């Protein structure tokens, strides 16, 4: 791969990272519970991209593309999971009513945040289709398609992960403002509503014939 082609792929990866989606909202949401939780959610989402690169590399994602049923099932599962996360945000906020700000801002479990980011990404087949549509254009002749796919997947993981970590750091810097009761309540509601809306939209698209 030429340096120009690699830089072009990095540009696409950066655009994908900057595009608002479940990964960004999850990272922001968990950042309200602590910097470590926010970074863990972002890291989980980034590693999920590497998982899709592995699937594409071994050809399993091609099966998903060719089987409408499998693709729809994955979309449905992903949509349900996003709705679950959205409802969870509302439920946590409801349980926090009447609790003072100091008690409410408790770092969330890092493992739970990591798994949320990972599962959210792995149940988003659009990431796999991105690899299927884009990666072949950057595969040079005479090289291992599997290892080159993994290299590009690692590149996407690093760029996406760095952006999400930066997002978590920015949220942590604004922690004093974000954790004001009214602001925190509105952010929890907004992020939960966005995640639920994304999930409902995914479920609706999965239900279409």
Instruction: Give the tens place of pLDDT for each residue, 57-75.
Output: 887 666 666 777 776 776 6
Note the pTM of the prediction, 2 decimals.
0.67
Q: How far apart are CA 204 and CA 33, in angstroms?
A: 31
Q: Residue 188 is inside which H or E element, if any?
A: helix 181-207
Instruction: Write down the pLDDT at residue 194.
Output: 67
Higher-confidence residue: 94 or 106? 94
Average pLDDT, the chain: 75
Name the band, by pLDDT with cuts 50, 70 and 90, for residue 187.
low
Rounded-to-integer distance, Cα 152 and Cα 140, Å: 12
Residue 102: pLDDT band (50, 70, 90) is very low
Length of the chain: 209
Residues 6 or more apart in contact with residue 183 via CB below 8 angstroms: 177
pLDDT in tens, 4-54: 888 888 888 888 788 777 888 888 888 877 888 889 999 999 999 888 888
- Give CA–CA dist 98/77, Å, rounded: 34
Give the whole-number percent of the chain exceeding pLDDT 70. Answer: 68
**Residue 52 CA: distances (Å) to CA of 61, 103, 128:** 8, 39, 5
């Amino acid at each position: 791969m030429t340096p120009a082609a690699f830089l072009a792929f990095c540009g696409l990866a950066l655009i994908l990272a900057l595009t608002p989606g479940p990964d960004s909202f999850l990272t922001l949401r968990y950042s309200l519970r602590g910097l470590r939780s926010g970074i863990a959610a972002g890291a989980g989402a980034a590693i999920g991209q590497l998982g899709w690169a592995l699937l594409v590399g071994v050809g399993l994602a091609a099966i998903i593309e060719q089987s409408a049923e499998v693709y729809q099932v994955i979309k449905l599962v992903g949509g349900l999971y996003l709705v679950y996360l959205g409802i969870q945000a509302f439920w946590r906020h409801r349980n926090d009513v009447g609790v003072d700000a100091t008690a409410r801002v408790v770092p969330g479990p890092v493992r739970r945040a990591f798994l949320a980011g990972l599962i959210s990404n792995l149940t988003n087949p659009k990431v796999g289709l991105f690899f299927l549509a884009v990666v072949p254009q950057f595969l040079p002749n005479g090289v291992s398609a599997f290892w080159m796919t993994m290299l590009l997947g690692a590149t996407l993981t690093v760029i996406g992960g760095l952006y999400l970590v930066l997002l978590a750091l920015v949220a942590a810097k604004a922690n004093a403002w974000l954790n004001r009761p009214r602001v925190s309540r509105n952010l929890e509601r907004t992020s939960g509503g966005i995640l639920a809306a994304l999930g409902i939209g995914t479920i609706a698209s999965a239900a279409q014939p």
